[in-house]
Chain A
């Protein structure tokens, strides 16, 4: 009985793995070890597996569980450089180039500055690769609202990234002046 449940669970999970992991990586950036988050969510998902409605995709439950976990636990947590390093090491072990890792981490960091709802929508749409309709189902919202969130999120993200670039170039110029 338990074995059968495990098999069913695993089959459902495998389909959701990639999107779920990308979501967790972006969500947990600097705040929690992704492994811990995945472990917590999997444990609760397995426990409630029989209660999860089979009509809705399993990934929806996983995404919601991860989000709820974030809300309940991380509110007071501060950024940890160790966790960021750990994430970089993991990606490095999967043959991802260091400059790419830096860019991705920069993106995650900038994403963290977006309003919550926009951040969620951007991660789910742009990084995890869900469709607008799926995101609307996960978030109990409408497609139109999600489109707005994604669009606003993109604009803000672009602005934040540009601001940081400008700030960086100004700092470099100042440094040059000091050096000269």
Chain B
């Protein structure tokens, strides 16, 4: 070790301590209460208790003042509601506040901006009537639509537009919607998702929330609560899992669905899943590249038809070819840069026209890319030609694999591993 550093450290070790034992002893004697003192201390009120007493006394005196000096200031007024009996001053205060809030809400709902301003001014001058044990609020006469005092039945059929709103009824049965907003949909890279999945499985097993890794897990990420396989977590675990999943955001429909082969992060609504996913999983319904509720875009229809025709063409070709499907590799094709994919698509098409594999740019193309063999629309390439296409595909890190294919039509391209049941890889649609 450096002698200079050793010297400094030795000095720090050798100097007397900042406080001597006697000083600490004296301090200890002052802070540690004697048995008699400790007992007498038990009768002292804590600052919080004192605050509580003062607050209660203030509320009580205020209620008494209101009770004795309250008056009605408008003859043309009408009473709109009768609230519960005065059980305690605190309760009546709370009720009164609630009533004001409800009125405020009600007025906001039924009046225009100018009217609302005028009404707010009137509300500020509300007078309070107290008769016997009942407390009422009087409001100057105005054409207020009557309010149904009955609490309506909760409707089971949920409006689609109000999916993200929480319904509840106020004291008067006024239906209120409290909007529960979601965080924006997460755009996570496959690396982030892979890491999150690994971390989650590790921690879930450690915390004994699941038996083993790979078991299906559903994590619901609400704003105020996190549940794992319908199990509500305690505070400590909740904080821990919010930290692990913070990139996924929160929301009423926000979930993480995990299985040994995939992870899906996003909003799971009645119409389907919207978000990011990694791995192999079944798509719910037809593959839509736009929002599920959006009106059918003509391009969508075109892409769908083109892709169906392309797939049909490829399946026919594969039936005629000698193609031995094998096991999918560990890493699938994942091209994140759309520009790169676009330029690959154009370069491929140009090369294919140049090499006379296709004559029309609109022709369908099927390229199979196996270890020592490459075919284009059923024709096997010689080594020289194959290498040029291998180099071209390598620009997007597309390597050879048993089921690896490139399927192209005029407006679509799919690169990845195709088996009769599934496709794992990258696909893109173009408008020109």
Contacts and interface: CB of A to CB of B under 8 A. Distances in A.
A120 to B, nearest CB: 15
Nearest to B15: A96
A62 to B, nearest CB: 11
A102 to B, nearest CB: 10
A42 B16 CA distance: 20
A108 B13 CA distance: 12
Interface string A105-135: 0111000000000000000001101000000
A42 B11 CA distance: 26
B21 A17 contact: yes
A46 B28 CA distance: 9
Query: Majority SS of interface residues in chain B?
Result: helix
Interface in A1-26: 1-3, 6, 10, 13-14, 17-18, 21-22, 24-26
Given A126-B9, A157-B5, A10 B16 contact: no
B34 A38 contact: no
A154 B12 contact: no
Contacts of B2: 158
B82 interface: no
Contacts of A104: 8, 11-12, 15
A94 to B, nearest CB: 4
A42 B24 contact: yes
B18 A107 contact: no
A55 B138 CA distance: 72
Contacts of A10: 25, 28
A50 interface: no
Contacts of B88: none
A94 B12 contact: no
A116 to B, nearest CB: 18
Interface residues of B, number: 25
A100 B21 contact: no
A20 B60 CA distance: 53
Contacts of A91: 15-16, 18
B13 A161 contact: no
Contacts of A35: 18-19, 27
B392 to A, nearest CB: 48
B270 interface: no
Contact of B19 (A13, A43, A46, A90): A90
Contact of A129 (B13, B25, B28, B35): B13
Contacts of A107: 8-9, 12
A169 interface: no
B161 to A, nearest CB: 44
A46 B2 CA distance: 41
Interface in B1-50: 1-2, 4-5, 8-9, 11-13, 15-21, 24-25, 27-28, 31-32, 34-35, 38
Contacts of B27: 35, 38-39, 42
A34 B1 contact: no
A161 B4 contact: yes
30 contacts: A2-B35, A13-B24, A17-B17, A17-B24, A21-B19, A22-B12, A34-B18, A34-B19, A42-B24, A42-B27, A42-B32, A43-B31, A43-B32, A46-B28, A90-B19, A91-B18, A94-B16, A100-B11, A103-B11, A104-B11, A104-B12, A106-B8, A107-B9, A108-B12, A126-B9, A126-B13, A127-B13, A154-B5, A161-B4, A161-B5
Given A42-B27, A94-B20, 19 more contacts: A10-B25, A21-B24, A34-B19, A38-B24, A39-B31, A42-B28, A42-B31, A43-B31, A96-B16, A103-B11, A104-B15, A107-B8, A107-B12, A126-B9, A126-B12, A157-B5, A158-B1, A158-B5, A161-B5
